[in-house]
Amino acid sequence: MYFISTRGEERVTAAQAIVQGLAKDGGLFVPEVFPTVSREELEEMLGMSYAERAAFVLSKYLEEYDKDGLLAACEKAYAKFEGSDPAPLVKISDGVYILELFHGPTCAFKDMALTLLPYLLRTGCDLVGIKEQILILVATSGDTGKAALEGFKDADGVKIMVFYPDDGVSKMQKLQMCTQEGENVNVVAVKGNFDDCQTAVKKIFNSEECKEALLSKNTRLSSANSINFGRLAPQIAYYFSAYLDLISAGQIEMGEEVNFTVPTGNFGNILAAYYAKKMGLPVGKLVCASNKNNVLTDFIRGGEYRIVGRQFHKTMSPSMDILISSNLERFVFELSGRDAPLTAERMKSLSERGTYTISPKEKEEMQREFFAGFSSEDDTVETIYDLFTEIGYPMDTHTGVAMSVAREYFEKEKDDKRNMVIVSTASPYKFPQDVLYALTGNDVKDSFKGIKRINVLTAMKIPKSLSGLRDKPVRFKTSVPVSKAFDEILNFLGD
């Protein structure tokens, strides 16, 4: 299978797409044709383990990768997760379920892909014949950074560097990153927000001058952000797995449509659900849940993507504090009928004028696929409190946003009787102060005291990776202006 750029100037193999991360024209790689999963294949997947399901879905896209190698890599990756199931489905009420994606090494859904990406990248380099050292460059709003660091630590022939907004991640997220072990890792704070970090990283990827400077150090760039198809592809698998689990539990019949609500910042997680639908998974409505930074809600409702004049908000769900949703480009490309010049024109307009608008026909098509809503801080707190009071289930703040918007959907679309799966993207223990406040109304300054109190209140098991974090030394303390990001990369690589 080949992959093409959303901006039309490149066609590459799957291995090349994963190794490059970003197309040379600045676009994102998408499959030239979407593979399909038949009803018979879905029935075969019912008896598979999660790792087998993931390997099967990946093999549809990564045709030049060895199938046995993919399966072995998936089994190794998901063996790192706590519990017997990497992506368990929990019934909340009749017709409503939560898909828990936070049982991996860093307690966030990014682990579902980033435990696997080192294999995909290393194998991709071998397939393409690349001998240089690979530098993984990551911009993070909190979770991707730690998951990528953990996935790539001490990997042969790879270095990884993470940029995060200085005041734009939770204390626990910052501590997870800045105490990271490994001889090939580096973490740098940027004085700005996530969009500043992401823009800086994209400029480096698109700069020939930067690429030449890195090649002089025998280094090539790649990405672990969801702009890299190798990050996006493993996420498609858990939508298939959730659907199959509903069938196995006798909650739906094969072929029955299911809705998904996804807390959304960079649009990658919900795009994976859309891709699963394109492959033939019976998906109904995709509910896009935003926090106070509701640029996606406004776009899906109104048809205009506008960041100019919009205030950036720091919220209790920091992984969604994003105004420029990179993966939306992939969806807009599909929406346009795969019109690459038009997609390039729209992305240029966003870069230069801070806005672009889709056609009324495209807007109508988008609204057939998506429902959009957003949750205020107060609504998120109230939702977390309500669910715990009602059934004793604790949620993190991002899942609280999703549940709040799902409730809005239930209220507005009362005739829609399809089952709803709400995607839970992080452990409550990753955001202990905000979760404790939502559950009890009490503030606590120390994250570890917050963890202890949540544990006493909920009896939810504390993840091993967080319980030992307090005693780990802080290794990374550098903070720089956005303009100095590339200088830090060169310093990291050395002579």
Helix axes 432-440, 447-458, angle to 10 degrees: 50
* Residue 390 CB coordination number (10 Å): 10
The C-alpha atoms of residue 60 and residue 48 are separated, in whole angstroms, by: 16
Parallel, antiparallel, or unpaired: how do β-strands 133-139 and 158-165 relate? parallel
Residue 48 structure tokens: 């598979």
The C-alpha atoms of residue 100 and residue 429 are separated, in whole angstroms, by: 14
**Interacting residues of 8 by C-beta distance below 8 A, sequence separation 6+:** 25, 27, 340, 341, 343, 344
Helix axes 397-412, 377-391, angle to 10 degrees: 90
Backbone angles phi, psi at 228, to 5 degrees: -85, 125
The C-alpha atoms of residue 91 and residue 327 are separated, in whole angstroms, by: 30
The C-alpha atoms of residue 154 and residue 13 are separated, in whole angstroms, by: 27
Of the chain, the end-to-end C-alpha distance in Å amounts to: 39
Backbone angles phi, psi at 318, to 5 degrees: -65, -25
Residue 36 structure tokens: 């399909």
Backbone angles phi, psi at 213, to 5 degrees: -65, -35
Handedness of CA 171, 316, 329, 74 (dihedral sign): positive
Burial category of 311 from C-beta neighbours within 10 Å (exposed 0-12, middle 13-18, buried 19 and up): exposed
Measured CA angle at 426 (ends 390, 413), to 5 deg: 55
The C-alpha atoms of residue 39 and residue 36 are separated, in whole angstroms, by: 10
Measured CA angle at 60 (ends 55, 66), to 5 deg: 60
Q: Which residues are catalytic?
A: 110
3-state secondary structure of 202: helix
Backbone angles phi, psi at 356, to 5 degrees: -155, 160
**Interacting residues of 150 by C-beta distance below 8 A, sequence separation 6+:** 105, 106, 111, 114, 115, 180
Measuring CA to CA, which residue among 423, 409, 430, 407 is closest to residue 317?
Answer: 430
